[in-house]
Amino acid sequence: MIVNLRDICAMAEQNNMAIASFNVPSFEALRAAIDVAEQTGYPVILSHAEGHEPFAPLDKIGPAMVALAERSSALLCVHLDHCEHLSYMRRALELGFTGAMFDGSFLPYEENVANSQRAAEMCAGFDCGLECELGSMGSREAGQRDEGGTAEESGAIYTDPDQAAEFVASTGTDILACSFGTVHGIYKGEPHLNFDVLTGIRSRVSVPLVMHGGSGVSDEDYAKAIDAGIRKINYYTYGVKYAGEAACGLMDKRRAKSSDAIVYWHDLTSAAYDRLVEDFTHVVKVFANGAQPLA
């Protein structure tokens, strides 16, 4: 069943939990995310990032995401992640996406506000929930996955709580992506989350808050972030890393037995799918933060 971004985040708010937003730029990831939502009963956000266009074109993956979400028994939002071009956002909305993120975090503040307002007008015309970002994660979702590092190294700028209040009021965004120490990609060392920044934003802003760079964080920090008001957690890099390792591990095992063993493509995609299901199942249960399944 397809759900609006606003409604899925409202469910998270009511239950003091966060919804996993999985980037699904492959059939295996899309299938795994939907299967985990159906098997666990927790809502899930299926995300397509504009930066993944080269290997998952919107006009191919988008209709698949919408059709599979519509016929699923699970509560699923179909969401556009890190969209930097309003023309691209319109294409996703015309396909039936029920959530969209306008990412103006790389723009000067005034331009970020102006473009986020345009995104809000466009989303209103399609009854689509809107996410905007203030502050910066540094490394972009479209960048190399191992660019991540630490928040300092990647040039992250923490969200300013007072500016966040002004930004939400000016743009009318439904949910707010904020920067408080997470980065996209692989962490070098332990991530250091700044919970003072997060609680500062939460005390000034009433819309649900979003954690980007959400994979690679400890289960303890997820729980602390959710208790401090995070309602959507974007998760990609570590899931695909584990899936890649599972596929390569299978190949190594077969080749160790016999150097001329044939490994078929579906052997690799199946190993990746199984590992994604295992990882996503763990993730949605941690993000549920003790809440019972909702479907």
CA distance 169 to 163: 10
Q: DSSP state, 273?
A: H
The reply to whether 212 sits near ligand 13P by the rule CB under 6 A is yes
CA distance 268 to 128: 36
The reply to whether 213 sits near ligand 13P by the rule CB under 6 A is yes
Q: DSSP state, 289?
A: T
62-70, 151-159, 206-214, 263-271 -> range binding ligand 13P (CB under 6 A): 206-214
Site map for ligand 13P, 4-23, x if CB under 6 A?
-------------------x
The reply to whether 48 sits near ligand 13P by the rule CB under 6 A is no
69-77, 151-159, 198-206, 211-219 -> range binding ligand 13P (CB under 6 A): 211-219
Residues in 273-292 at the binding interface with ligand 13P, rule: CB under 6 A:
none
Site map for ligand 13P, 61-90, x if CB under 6 A?
--------------------xx--------
Q: Which helix (H) or strand (E) holds 177?
A: strand 175-178
From 35, 81, 160, 221, active-site residue: 81
CA distance 57 to 258: 38
Supply the minimum distance, in Å, between the C-beta of residue 105 and ligand 13P: 11
HEC string of 212-250? CCCCCCCHHHHHHHHHCCEEEEEECHHHHHHHHHHHHHH
Residues in 224-263 at the binding interface with ligand 13P, rule: CB under 6 A:
234-237
Q: Which residues, in sequence order, are CB contacts of 12 under 8 Å at separation 6+?
A: 18, 19, 43, 208, 231, 232
Q: Which tokens is 118 given?
A: 């345009």
CA distance 33 to 234: 13
Q: Which helix (H) or strand (E) holds 71?
A: helix 58-71
Choice between 105 and 215, CB closer to ligand 13P: 215
Choice between 23 and 115, CB closer to ligand 13P: 23
CA distance 270 to 280: 15
Choice between 104 and 250, CB closer to ligand 13P: 104
152 with 138: CB under 8 angstroms?
no
The reply to whether 215 sits near ligand 13P by the rule CB under 6 A is yes
Site size toward ligand 13P (CB under 6 A) is 15
Choice between 233 and 250, CB closer to ligand 13P: 233
Neighbours of 264 (CB within 10 A): 8
Residue of the chain from 149, 208, 214, 229 that contacts ligand 13P (CB under 6 A) = 214
Residue of the chain from 48, 52, 79, 184 that contacts ligand 13P (CB under 6 A) = 184
CA distance 63 to 262: 34
The reply to whether 216 sits near ligand 13P by the rule CB under 6 A is yes
Q: Is 81 a catalytic residue?
A: yes
Residues that bind ligand 13P (CB under 6 A): 23, 81-82, 141, 184-185, 212-216, 234-237
Catalytic positions are 81
